[in-house]
Amino acid sequence: MSFETFPQTPPVKETEPVSIHEVSAIEETAGTPIYNRAEIQTIVEQPLIEACEELYDKNIQTLSTSANKKDVESGSGYIIIDFDSLSEENKAIAQQYGEMIKYHGRNAVAMNIAITESSTSNEITQKAHEIASLFVPQLASWIHPYTIEELKAQNGISDKLKDNNPSDWPEYYYDPANNLFYDSEEHFHKLKGE
């Protein structure tokens, strides 16, 4: 009995750098809160995903990002960071390397990334990584737990419509030790420094 020898699989070629002109805009996600790290993949354009993941891991809140073919005309993409939620050390870094702006009434800093006709996705990813690496890990001061009373008030619910049973709020993560609710289990662990 003989066995057929299968040809060896050719080595995988590294992907060629994708032109910025091939990166489509992800519309209408600006200001979308991130409750889980995995969500970054769906609301951030490819060249900025790694940088936004790094910032999220450092507990830095991003408010808006852009790095796509539409940005060639303006000459830059950006990562907008919530300034007021930064630690003092990160505020100093943001002021040194970014541009202070107002974003929907909030104090924010725009970390701009030059984009030209010849920019590739890989180049922008590298520049964005350089920006993210400037910042240091901090406490997640932008994550706020809720009491059941706060949830009721936010949702316009009177005590007559819902009782104080945590199971009435399955969309939130419940911390029974402190009787508090979080937007996600990941937020609970981030705020605890885990």
Q: Do 108 and 80 touch, CB atoms closer than 8 A?
A: yes
Q: What is the pTM of this model?
A: 0.84
Domains and CATH numbers, the chain: 20-134 (3.90.1150), 148-191 (no CATH)
- The whole-number average pLDDT for the span 162-178 is 84
User: 65 falls in which pLDDT band (50, 70, 90)?
Assistant: very high
3-state secondary structure of 57: helix
Q: How far apart are CA 144 and CA 91, in angstroms?
A: 20
Q: How far is CA 182 from the centre of its chain?
A: 17
User: 163 falls in which pLDDT band (50, 70, 90)?
Assistant: low
Query: Residue 135 has what DSSP assignment?
Result: S
The DSSP string of 94-124 is HHHHSEEEEETTEEEEEEEEE--TT-BHHHH
Tell me which of 11 and 44 has the higher pLDDT: 44
Say if residue 41's pLDDT is above 80: yes
